[in-house]
């Protein structure tokens, strides 16, 4: 097991650094009737939308826990403006309205990577660079077309999956999650794509190596009140950021830190892709609104119209 997985206390301390005063007294969650910690409920991380993955240049040389109250106030104040500026092809009325609804001024983190301390994705290995170059060539061949079939578009456009940990990283809407527990299992349902991960917590081993899926094979266990979920057995299309599906392992930690909040971290380890493991963190807060239906295929006009446009271009 990688060194990063032996530092859960440190990683969680970094993840909650911006709300440490509220957590001065350690919270102990309730228990389910069979004894497991109670994580059940509906949660969201919508207000963390557009949080940069890596540390922005404006915070060079600093860790999240080093930020002053003034710096925290500044990144929260600028969050909405920066998110609007990042939209393509540019600011649009509905997008600006939606960003205001999200209230990005409540964003808790200035960036997602909490380990390594420099807040950046570790360097690629030699194998990782080769795969990235090959993927870049394949992507450029379809940039703007021709789109010969749905397989030329991404998994999200095809309403298939956002993968792990992608399903927990917020986009502009639908960033709601339901956690449900039964004896021996934890189930997480994601509003976007409406995937459900059924996570055994009864000690069973992973499935055999030949069985692979978009979200991998998840196995959970409890460390105190923290749910630890290890996912392996990804397929090539679902492997996060072009990782090697044969060696990719993602370990998530769900720790309830108050009646209305869970701290979530995900450590990504793949010795065939990155020189060291790395960890992202994000808060989940209680949301009184339940997970809503997500009829992706039923309303997926974008995919159909992209392919129609490509055929029209072919005809010309």
Structure tokens at 316: 């010309």
116 close to 278: Cβ distance less than 8 angstroms: yes
How confident is the model over 172-183, as pLDDT tens digits? Answer: 889 999 999 999
Q: pTM here?
A: 0.86
Torsion of CA 209, 212, 215, 219, to 10 degrees: -30
pLDDT score recorded for residue 16: 45
Q: Average pLDDT over the chain, rounded to whole?
A: 87
Alpha-carbon torsion, ordered 84, 88, 90, 95, to 10 deg: -50
Per-residue pLDDT band at 88 (split at 50, 70, 90):
low
Which pLDDT tens digit goes with each residue over 12-64? 444 444 444 444 358 999 999 999 999 999 999 998 988 999 999 999 999 98
Over residues 127-151, the mean pLDDT reads: 80
> In the numeric block, which tokens belong to residue 97?
């309205």
What kind and span of H or E run contains 296? none
**pLDDT at position 253, please?**
98
């Amino acid at each position: 097991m990688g060194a990063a997985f032996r530092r859960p206390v440190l990683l969680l301390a970094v993840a909650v650094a911006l709300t440490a005063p509220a957590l001065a007294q350690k919270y102990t969650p309730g228990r389910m009737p069979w004894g497991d910690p109670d994580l059940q409920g509906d949660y969201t991380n919508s207000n963390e939308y557009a949080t940069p993955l890596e540390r922005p240049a404006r915070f060079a040389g600093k860790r999240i826990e080093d930020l002053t109250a003034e710096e925290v106030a500044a990144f929260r104040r600028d969050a909405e403006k920066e998110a609007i500026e990042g939209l393509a092809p540019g600011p649009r009325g509905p997008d600006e309205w939606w960003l205001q609804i999200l209230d990005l001024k409540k964003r808790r983190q200035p960036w997602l990577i909490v380990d390594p301390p420099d807040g950046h994705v570790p360097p690629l290995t030699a194998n990782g660079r080769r795969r990235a170059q090959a993927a870049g060539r394949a992507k450029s061949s379809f940039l703007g077309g021709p789109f010969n079939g749905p397989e030329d578009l991404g998994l999200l456009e095809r309403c298939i999956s956002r993968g792990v940990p992608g399903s927990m990283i917020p986009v502009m809407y639908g960033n709601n999650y339901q956690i449900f527990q039964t004896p021996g299992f934890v189930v997480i349902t994601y509003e976007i794509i409406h995937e459900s991960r059924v996570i055994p917590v009864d000690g069973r081993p992973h499935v055999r190596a030949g069985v692979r899926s978009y979200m991998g094979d998840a196995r959970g266990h409890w460390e105190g009140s923290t749910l630890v979920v290890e996912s392996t057995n990804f397929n090539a299309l679902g492997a996060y950021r072009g990782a090697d599906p044969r060696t990719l392992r993602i370990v998530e930690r769900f720790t309830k830190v108050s009646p209305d909040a869970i701290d979530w971290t995900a450590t990504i380890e793949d010795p065939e892709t990155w020189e060291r493991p790395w960890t992202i963190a994000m808060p989940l807060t209680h949301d009184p609104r339940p997970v809503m239906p997500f009829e992706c295929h039923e309303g997926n006009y974008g995919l159909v119209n992209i392919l129609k446009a490509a055929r029209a271009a072919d005809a010309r």
